[in-house]
Structure 1
């Protein structure tokens, strides 16, 4: 579990995060959603330890980031897998080399052990024969699967995904959502996803934190989001005719 208490973050006079408190649960897909400028990206970077914060705390299983020594932060980093927006693969490396990169950084495994682990995770993301391809030879969906393989190659306790469906067609986005959900369940990771995609929310939103203007405006699940009367949430969720129809169907089915 990741526990956040009264988190504040500013840049100069701009107060970006204004006292956010929430928990991200183990074995669940936890989504951070909200409009552009709501503080999602800053919040995610604080969770990752990339940004310092002025007030509050972030604790990983009781370990408070701001109280960690450099070696403790290094150990925590080895427990984290990250799927970046745009995948962020190394263009000069093959797919297998990209996936192996965290093993080279954080482990002392032999080459054969690393190769076996790379084989395993590439099979897990349904890319058993992609080892020698270059990222430029892979589709957007394949690149996202490679990014997921790289993120889980170290058996992380925590998985962070920044807009994992960005740039993908709806069908491929569902495949990526389902893969993240399956891997979260299998590995019992604490998965945190920064997203603006309502399809992802409805597919895999086991825990949802909705931010507005740097505040936690609402939290719940994909089941309870249809029941809320919070106007900021309903305006965000039902900004398209598709989700207005979905809400009507949900209300009719549950009357």
Structure 2
């Protein structure tokens, strides 16, 4: 579990996060949603330690990042997996080398041990016999699955995903959503996903945090979204005709 208490972050005179308090639950897919400029990415970067809040505290289990020394922060980084928006694969490395990269950084395993783990996670994301290919030789959806394999190769306790469906077609996006959720449940990971995609919310939103102008506007799960009268939620969710129709059906069914 990750707990956020009254986190505030500013750049110069502009306050981006205005006192966020919430929790991200273990073994669940926790989604951060909101319009562009709402503070989603800034909150994510505070969670993983790239930004330091001016006020507030962030706890991993019972340990606050602010109280950790350098060694403890390094140990925490080894427990974190990160799926970047663009995949962030190294073009000059093979798929095998890309996935192995965190193991080389954070472990002292033998080459045979690392290769065994690489093959294990590639198989888990349904990518066999691609080890010697380069990112440019596979599709965008396959690249995203390679990125997931790399993010989980170190068996992280915490998984962060920044717009994991960016640039993918709807069918592939759904496959990626479901894969992230399956891996979360299988390994009891605390997963945090930043997204603006309502399809992702409805697929895997076990805990949903809606930000608006740097504040926590609403939190709940994907089923509660259709029942709330919170104006910020309805404005965000039902901006498309599709979800307006879904809401009408949900309300009729009680």
TM over 0.5: yes
Question: In the TM superposition, what is the alpha-carbon distance from 1:252 to its structure 2 partner?
Answer: 1.4
Q: Distance in 1 between matches of 2:126 and 2:251?
A: 38
Secondary structure of the 1:225 match is helix
Map of 1:158 onto structure 2? 158
Is residue 2:66 matched to residue 1:61?
no
Q: Distance in 1 between matches of 2:105 and 2:138?
A: 24
Is residue 2:183 matched to residue 1:195?
no
Question: In the TM superposition, what is the alpha-carbon distance from 1:251 to its structure 2 partner?
Answer: 1.1
Q: What is the correspondence of 1:142-153 to structure 2 with a 5 Å cutoff?
A: 142-153=142-153
Question: In the TM superposition, what is the alpha-carbon distance from 1:135 to its structure 2 partner?
Answer: 0.3
1:170-205 deviation per Cα after TM superposition (whole angstroms, max 9, x unaligned): 000000000001000000000000000000000000
Is residue 2:204 matched to residue 1:204?
yes
Q: Distance in 2 between matches of 1:86 and 1:252?
A: 40
Secondary structure of the 2:224 match is coil
Q: What is the correspondence of 1:1-255 to structure 2 with a 5 Å cutoff?
A: 1-254=1-254
1:67-106 deviation per Cα after TM superposition (whole angstroms, max 9, x unaligned): 1101110000000000000100000000010000000000
TM-score (norm 1): 0.99
Mark the runs of 5 or more structure 1 residues left unpaired by the alignment.
none
Q: Distance in 1 between matches of 2:165 and 2:119?
A: 24
Q: How many residues align?
A: 254
Question: In the TM superposition, what is the alpha-carbon distance from 1:130 to its structure 2 partner?
Answer: 1.0
TM-score (norm 2): 0.99
Q: Distance in 2 between matches of 1:150 and 1:246?
A: 36
Q: Distance in 2 between matches of 1:202 and 1:9?
A: 29
